[in-house]
Amino acid sequence: MKRLSQKYLWFGLVVAMVLTGALAWPRPTEAKGQCHQINTTMTSVANFSNFTTTGEINSGLLKGTTKFTGDPVAVTPITSATKPPVKSPTFSYVGDLEITTDQGILTTRSVGIFEGVPFGRAVQFDHVTGGTGLFDGATGLLYFNSVTDSTGGAFSSSVSGEVCVK
C-alpha cells in the first residue's frame, strides 16, 4: 500500500510540475519568433481637418490604441468618364498607422479606398513596417474592412491578416 501511495505522490508531483511549467510559458500572443493570425475589430473616429483617425483595437495581439496619419497630397478622387466604378465621392489614400499595445508599437504603411455613400465604406491594406518592443523588426500584412456611422466620421472595422515578430 505504501508503494502505491508513493506512486501517486510522484505522479501528482510530475503533473504539478508540468502544469506549473506550462503556466510559466509565454502566452502565444506574447511569444517571439513566430507569426500571429489577426482577427479582431477596431473602432475609430476621423478628424478630417488634419486627415487623421484615432481609435481602439478591442482584442488579441494588437489590443490597444490606434492613430492613422494620412498623406493629404496622396488623396486621389476615383472617377470614370463612361461608367462610375463606385458611388461618388470615392477616393484613394495612403498614410501611416501606429498601433500602441502594452507590448510595444506596431507601425504600418496604409493604402485604402473610401466610398462616401450614406454610411460610407472603406477597404485598406497595411504593410507592417516594424515597431518597438515586441514589434521591433515585425513584418506582415493587415486588412481593414470599414463602415461609417450616419455622421461619416466614426468607423467600425474588421481587422484581419498576419503579424510576424522576431
Report which of 45, 123, 53, 126 is spatially closest to residue 86, judged by C-alpha positions.
Answer: 123
More confident residue, 22 or 90: 90
Q: Which of 155, 162, 50 is nearest to 106 (CA)?
A: 162
What Å distances lie between residue 64 and 87, 112, 116, CA to CA? 33, 22, 27
Q: Parse the chain into domains and list their residue ranges.
A: 29-165
pLDDT tens-digit readout, 52-88: 999 999 999 999 999 999 999 999 998 877 776 667 7
Burial class from Cβ neighbours inside 10 Å (0-12, 13-18, 19+) for residue 121 reads middle
The pLDDT assigned to 6 comes to 47
Which CATH number is correct for 29-165, 2.40.350, 2.60.40, 2.60.120, 2.40.30?
Answer: 2.40.350
**What is the predicted pLDDT for the residue at 84?**
66
Q: How confident is the model at residue 10 (pLDDT cuts 50, 70, 90)?
A: very low
